[in-house]
Amino acid sequence: MQNLFERNIKELISNADKDYNDALRLLETGDTYDAAEKAWSAIEGLRKACLIAAKIPYEIAKTKSRGLPLFIKILKAVGRKDLLKSYMYFSQQLHSMGFYERVTPESDLRDTIQDDVPEWMQKIKELINILRKVDLSDIIDILNEIDKIKQRILRESSKYLELQQKLSQMITQKIMNVLRT
């Protein structure tokens, strides 16, 4: 199992480096918005590698719904809110407003990709080496229990909203019946 985690980490880091180099090549050709998405892909790969380094299975690490909250908790636990703030900035700057919306000016994207992303990547790689010594595999049961509770809450919330709507309809109907007479 340990070897599988290490293989996944090495593969994710290698792919992140490749994606970042692709982003630089795209910048050279003037394809700034695609470069932003490649840079974001590199960042996402390293986010996943952080989780896998802490023995979180890839199936969880790859998701936003489960993996991202864990990544946030890990960064806070190691006192690296700076890396978290940068991650969120990259998500907005490169991914959402850059690649998808194409609102971020190309010069800002270029600066972010060339200056900020490699610095963040280096710091995250250092953190990955630290996280290799951490074993969070025993939190999976808690994550599963959280998911079950969340699903129950969503089901109950849905029932609650249906009942509120039914209540409003009954009140309106009875008042309208009285007003018609």
A 10 A CB-CB count for 63 gives 14
160 and 109, same domain (yes or no): no
168 and 84, same domain (yes or no): no
Among 47, 45, 54, 44, which Cα is nearest to 5's? 54
Domain residues for the domain of 173 are 138-181
Crossing angle, helix 117-131 and helix 81-90, to 10 degrees? Answer: 130
Which amino acid makes up residue 59?
E
15 and 35, same domain (yes or no): yes
103 and 24, same domain (yes or no): yes
114 and 144, same domain (yes or no): no
Q: How confident is the model at residue 102, as a pLDDT? A: 85
35 and 112, same domain (yes or no): yes
Structure confidence by residue, pLDDT tens digits, 73-131? 999 999 999 999 999 999 999 988 887 788 888 999 999 999 999 999 999 999 999 99
Structure confidence by residue, pLDDT tens digits, 15-33? 999 999 999 999 999 999 9
119 and 34, same domain (yes or no): yes
Show which of 97, 119, 135 is a domain's final residue: 135
109 and 180, same domain (yes or no): no
127 and 142, same domain (yes or no): no
Rounded-to-integer distance, Cα 38 and Cα 26, Å:
9
pTM score, two decimals?
A: 0.82
Structure confidence by residue, pLDDT tens digits, 46-64? 999 999 999 999 999 999 9
CATH of the domain at 70: 1.20.120
Cα-Cα-Cα-Cα dihedral of 115, 120, 126, 128, to 10°? -140
65 and 123, same domain (yes or no): yes
115 and 66, same domain (yes or no): yes
116 and 176, same domain (yes or no): no
Please tell me the total count of domains within the chain.
Answer: 2
**What letter would DSSP give residue 132?**
T
Q: How confident is the model at residue 84, as a pLDDT? A: 97
